[in-house]
Amino acid sequence: MDSESETPKPFGPRANAFKTLLGKIYFHRLPSYGNKIFYGLGFLALTCLVLLAATGITMAFMGQSWWLANPLGIFVRSIHLWTVQAFIAILILHILVGLTTSGFRKPRRMVWVFGAIIFGLVLIQTEFGYGLRGDFSSQFRAVSGADFWNGSHLGYWLNPLNYNQTFALHVAIIPLLILLLFIAHYILEHSYGIARPYRPDIKYKMVPADHAVMYRRGVALVAAILVLAFFFPSPYVRAIRIADVTQQNPSMVAANLFQEFNRTSETATYLDSIDPYTFDTRYVYVVIPYQKLASSVGGENAWQAFERAPTNTQHQYTQQAQQYFAQPSAKSVALPNITNGVANPVITMINTLIPAAKNGLYAAILNQEQPSINDTYTLRFLNDMNLFERKAETLNMDTAQWGMTKDETGSIWKLPPGSWWLLPLGIVNSSFNLLSNPYGDRDAAWGLGALMLLFITFPYIPFLNRLPEKLNLAPFIWKTKEKKE
Yes or no: say if 56 and 48 are a contact pair by the CB < 8 Å rule. Answer: no
Instruction: Reply yes or no on whether the pLDDT at 322 is more than 50.
Output: yes
Task: Label residue 410 by pLDDT band (50, 70, 90).
Answer: low
Q: Mean pLDDT across the chain, nearest whole number?
A: 87
Yes or no: say if 325 and 252 are a contact pair by the CB < 8 Å rule. Answer: no
* Identity of the residue numbered 173: I
Instruction: Reply yes or no on whether the pLDDT at 319 is more than 90.
Output: yes
Range in 6-20, 232-246, 252-266, 280-294 the model is least confident about: 6-20
Grouping H, G, I as helix, E, B as strand and the rest as coil, residue 155 is coil
Q: What is the mean pLDDT of residues 307-333?
A: 82
Instruction: Reply yes or no on whether the pLDDT at 206 is more than 80.
Output: yes
Q: What is the mean pLDDT of residues 450-455?
A: 93
* Domains detected in the chain: 29-237+402-478 (1.20.810.10), 242-392 (no CATH)
The residue among 303 and 275 whose pLDDT is bigger is 303
Provide the sign of the torsion angle of the four alpha carbons 236, 62, 142, 387, taken in this order.
negative
Cβ contacts of residue 350 below 8 Å, gap of 6+?
A: 254, 257, 258, 261, 286, 321, 325
- pLDDT at residue 485, as a whole number: 43
> Which of 33-42, 172-181, 320-329 is the most confident on average?
172-181
Yes or no: say if 345 and 287 are a contact pair by the CB < 8 Å rule. Answer: no
- 342: β partners: 339
Task: Label residue 21 by pLDDT band (50, 70, 90).
Answer: confident
pLDDT over 90, % of the chain: 58
Instruction: Reply yes or no on whether the pLDDT at 295 is more than 50.
Output: yes
- pLDDT at residue 7, as a whole number: 54
pLDDT over 70, % of the chain: 88
The residue among 195 and 58 whose pLDDT is bigger is 58
Output phi, psi for 31, to 5 deg. -60, 155
Question: Is the pTM of the predicted complex or chain greater than 0.85?
Answer: yes
Grouping H, G, I as helix, E, B as strand and the rest as coil, residue 29 is strand
Yes or no: say if 73 and 59 are a contact pair by the CB < 8 Å rule. Answer: yes
The residue among 407 and 158 whose pLDDT is bigger is 158
- pLDDT at residue 398, as a whole number: 74
Tally the residues of the chain: 485
Q: What is the mean pLDDT of residues 353-359?
A: 95
Contacts of 460-463 with C-beta under 8 Å, sequence gap 24+, read 460/109
| Pairing of β 338-339 and β 206-208 | unpaired
